[in-house]
Amino acid sequence: MTPVELSNLSARSTATWRDYYELGKPRVVLLIMFTAVAGMFLAAPAWPPLTALVFGSVGIALAASAAAAINHVLDRRFDEKMLRTRHRPLPTGHLTATAAMTYALLLAVLSMALLGLAVNVLTALLTFSSLIGYAVIYTLWLKHATPQNIVIGGAAGAAPPVLGWTAVTGQVDAYALLLFLIIFTWTPPHFWALAIARRDDYAKAGIPMLPVAYGVDFTRLHILLYTILLVLVTMLPYLTGMSGLIYLAAAVVLGAAFLQRAWQLKNRNDVRLPMRTFSFSINYLALLFAALLLDHYIQVRF
């Protein structure tokens, strides 16, 4: 046997359920699902229909996992070169690219069937567009074509609350687009903080992330600028009447905390700050959407 055949044989013999589970990037999917489900609840005057909630959640989760698995396959050569990703199932040889892609396509087909038949066609089409946007357009092209990759590609990652909204209402509402805009604006400072921390990895793999192409200081400045923009955008749900004072208070406090971290990141040369900012940004988004939900249901009740 050739070395490649031996590697494939080894992969088939050592693959476990956990390798397939890791293909789906479960921690990322969890955040995606929280924002999607939040979109469902925010779209409903009281409680979203059970069918939309259950089948919509499962269908969107399957699509997110499929996109993540395709990302693993397309990025496997780059993942081998990066310390952060070399432990993934494909670089380690636990799974073959064929097995991973088969798994991804199965999840994608199940997702589209579930959403199209049990939810509505619009949600299925938008979910499919988001899957292609992230798994193919971003991973295969944008990621390697421009330092603005995460800005443009962030549209796919910002789609989940819109998908949740359409699962309940069957249409795209202006308020759903506000949720999209919040995540779209949040994505660059969130991901660029990680890119600073993993700059050497991205440089080694030849991926032109912003700190690789323009330097760390340039990236720090843009994290601060995007964070300012994010804070302004998060005021829109209150200003448009979508939410009330509870959300506004949470948005102001969380925005101030994010701005503080972005300011520290720009002005202090502490190697721990990028990952701390990245970690905080995840909690920030989760708490912001939790505040939207809390505000929504307190308004409904009173």
For residue range 108-153, list pLDDT tens digits in order: 999 999 999 999 999 999 999 999 988 888 888 888 888 888 888 8
Q: pTM, whole model, 2 decimals?
A: 0.90
Task: Give the count of domains, the chain.
Answer: 2
Mean pLDDT, the chain, whole residue set: 89
**Residue 159: C-alpha distances to residues 17, 89, 205 (Å):** 28, 27, 28
Which of the listed residues 157, 172, 187 is the one where a domain comes to its end?
Answer: 172
Task: Give the mean model confidence (pLDDT) for residues 70-83.
Answer: 85
Same domain, 195 and 126: no
**Residue 98: C-alpha distances to residues 64, 88, 102 (Å):** 19, 15, 6
The pLDDT value given to residue 8: 43
Same domain, 74 and 95: yes
The pLDDT value given to residue 94: 86
Rounded to whole angstroms, the Cα distance separating 96 from 91 reads 9
**29: containing domain:** 1-172
Within 10 angstroms of residue 60's Cβ, the number of other Cβ atoms is 32
Task: Give the angle subtended at the CA of 29 by the CAs of 26 and 31, to the nearest 5°.
Answer: 115
The pLDDT value given to residue 130: 93
Determine contact, residues 191/269, Cβ cutoff 8 Å. no
Instruction: Reply yes or no on whether the pLDDT at 41 is more than 50.
Output: yes
Same domain, 201 and 114: no
Same domain, 74 and 147: yes
Instruction: Reply yes or no on whether the pLDDT at 24 is more than 70.
Output: no
Which of the listed residues 149, 172, 195 is the one where a domain comes to its end?
Answer: 172
Ramachandran angles phi, psi of 79, nearest 5°: -60, -30
The H-assigned helical ranges of the chain are 3-14, 17-23, 26-43, 50-74, 76-79, 97-114, 121-132, 143-145, 149-157, 160-169, 174-197, 199-205, 210-214, 216-233, 236-239, 245-267, 273-301
Same domain, 77 and 96: yes
Question: Which token pair is 60?
Answer: 């969107």
Determine contact, residues 62/107, Cβ cutoff 8 Å. yes
Determine contact, residues 57/185, Cβ cutoff 8 Å. no
- CA nearest to 40, candidates 147, 166, 146, 128: 166
Same domain, 78 and 202: no
Which of the listed residues 172, 189, 213 is the one where a domain comes to its end?
Answer: 172
**Residue 298: C-alpha distances to residues 39, 46, 169, 224 (Å):** 16, 10, 21, 33
Rounded to whole angstroms, the Cα distance separating 155 from 248 reads 25
Residue with tokens 């496997």: 76
Same domain, 139 and 1: yes
Determine contact, residues 300/45, Cβ cutoff 8 Å. yes
Same domain, 40 and 187: no
| CATH code of the domain in which 25 resides | 1.10.357.140
The pLDDT value given to residue 266: 94
Same domain, 188 and 162: no
Same domain, 279 and 131: no
Same domain, 20 and 157: yes
Q: How far is CA 158 from the centre of its chain?
A: 7
